[in-house]
Structure 1
Amino acid sequence: MRIYFLTILSLVLFVSCNTDPNKQVDEGKVIENKYYSKEIGWSIEIPKGWNVTNRNVTQEREDKGLKAVNEANGINYDISGLKQLISFQKDRFHIFSATSEKCEIEYEGEYEENKILVKQLLYNTYANNGIKFDTISSTEIIDNLEFDLFHITIYDPKGNVILYQDFYSRFINGLDFGVNLNYIDEKEKNELMKVWKNSKFD
């Protein structure tokens, strides 16, 4: 089971890039403006003007998100098997990130049960941290593959929207593959959606 990490809790982090983007990923390869994961069989274009996120920034987000999830739910989840595939961002509010984790399915329906549990853990974490939010669950087709989509709208205390988060997940090649899109402005949202929906699977 994979835990989605909460970028909303680490928005103080700024854009950070590196001259060698391949040092920022655990698996896959970045060539010019394209990333390819051999394990997933997935490729995506990095939009112009967006930077591959530095591994240190990604790790700090993970640590903060994991701490929040564990404290809110009274668990001690181990993320040692989680792989960072590609993360890129325009600024601290507009972020794309993808991860994978080995997932051994022991019985029919186990993956679906885990998806429900992950959503509940997210719900508890946001609620216990006093964050106002709404959620919508649905599915979406990306390159002829159906993904589970968990959409979160986050509000400030006055009820104004401060962030949208889209969490996509699917079981692929024995891996739990997840994609997280954070956005608030329409232009950047459209850029993210375009490259994600145009990404390809072998």
Structure 2
Amino acid sequence: MNKTIFILTIGILTMLTSCGKSDPNKTVDEGKVEKNTYTSAEIGWTIEIPKGWTVIDKEKKQAANEKGLKAIEETIESKVDYSGLKNLIGFQKNQFNIFQSTSEPFELEYEGEWEENNSKLKEILFATYKNQGIKADSSATSIEKIDGLDFYTFSFTIYSPKGAVILKQLLYSRLINGYAFSANLNYNNDKDRDELLRVFRNSKFKIK
């Protein structure tokens, strides 16, 4: 199971806030931040941190991960080992408009294993939202090319109890350089959605 997106997606609903005072290089488990650019050596990934957005504090990301983990475990009625999960870059404009990314080692035992496990993602996510009393629906899964690589992608729309849209999520995932890589783009307006998409779609990846 691709646990990284499960934890990342559910955990984001804690609505993170940022103090904005931490050294950016102390907020990631792997990679480094130089000026407005984050680079992951393991993933071979480089992304711009947009101007006016703040790198998320590591402790806040960890708290979100733990809440997401708990929600998932309640849904699947089983413990989830996420000891290999690494927080990559996360940044936000405010509590609703957020980018987060993670990686986790993934050793293939048979061809198509990652794709098979990843196809279960929406079903479990939807069940977890429902179990948490959150109204949501999802889009069809598609493939989008970013820097020449195929990424699985789909979206979730989160509703208030009265049916108003309160948050949208775009999820991207790919097996890359031996890691299950996940990126989660959360937004509540078109301007911030476009900014998040711009920086992620302009990402650079280097396959080893």
TM-score tier, shorter chain, comes to over 0.9
Is the partner of 2:2 in helix, strand or coil?
Answer: coil
Deviations along 1:51-96, one digit per CA (max 9) or x if unpaired, are 1100010001001111001011211101110011100001110110
Is the partner of 1:98 in helix, strand or coil?
Answer: strand
| 8 Å Cα contact 2:137-2:157 kept in structure 1 | yes
Distance in 1, Cα, partners of 2:110 & 2:81: 22
The residue aligned with 1:86 is 89
Give the share of equivalent positions with the same residue, in percent.
53
The verdict on how the C-alpha distance between 1:193 and 1:174 changes in structure 2, with shifts beyond 3 A counting, is same
Distance in 2, Cα, partners of 1:194 & 1:66: 29
The residue aligned with 2:126 is 123
Structure 1, unaligned stretches of length 5 or more? Answer: none
Structure 2, unaligned stretches of length 5 or more? Answer: none
Structure 1: 4+ residue segments shifted above 3 A? none
The verdict on how the C-alpha distance between 1:107 and 1:74 changes in structure 2, with shifts beyond 3 A counting, is same
Structure 1 residue 186, shift from structure 2 partner: 1.2
Structure 1 residue 7, shift from structure 2 partner: 3.6
Is the partner of 1:81 in helix, strand or coil?
Answer: coil
Structure 1 residue 8, shift from structure 2 partner: 4.6
Distance in 1, Cα, partners of 2:116 & 2:144: 19
Distance in 1, Cα, partners of 2:109 & 2:196: 35
Structure 1 residue 119, shift from structure 2 partner: 2.2
Is the partner of 1:181 in helix, strand or coil?
Answer: strand
Q: What amino acid sits opposite 2:92 in the alignment?
A: Q
Distance in 2, Cα, partners of 1:22 & 1:53: 11
The residue aligned with 2:153 is 149
The residue aligned with 1:72 is 75
Structure 1 residue 108, shift from structure 2 partner: 1.2
Structure 1 residue 151, shift from structure 2 partner: 0.6
Distance in 2, Cα, partners of 1:28 & 1:8: 21
Distance in 2, Cα, partners of 1:26 & 1:102: 13
Aligned residue pairs total 201
The residue aligned with 2:144 is 140
Q: What amino acid sits opposite 1:28 in the alignment?
A: G
Q: Does 1:192 align with 2:196?
A: yes
The residue aligned with 2:20 is 17
Structure 1 residue 118, shift from structure 2 partner: 2.5
Q: RMSD of aligned C-alpha atoms?
A: 1.2
Deviations along 1:106-156, one digit per CA (max 9) or x if unpaired, are 011111111022222211101112211111121111111110012101111
Structure 1 residue 160, shift from structure 2 partner: 1.0
2:177 is aligned, of 162, 170, 173, to 173
TM-score (norm 1): 0.95
Using the TM superposition, name which of 128-137 and 160-169 deviates more: 128-137
Q: Does 1:60 align with 2:63?
A: yes
| 8 Å Cα contact 1:149-1:168 kept in structure 2 | yes
Q: What amino acid sits opposite 1:150 in the alignment?
A: F
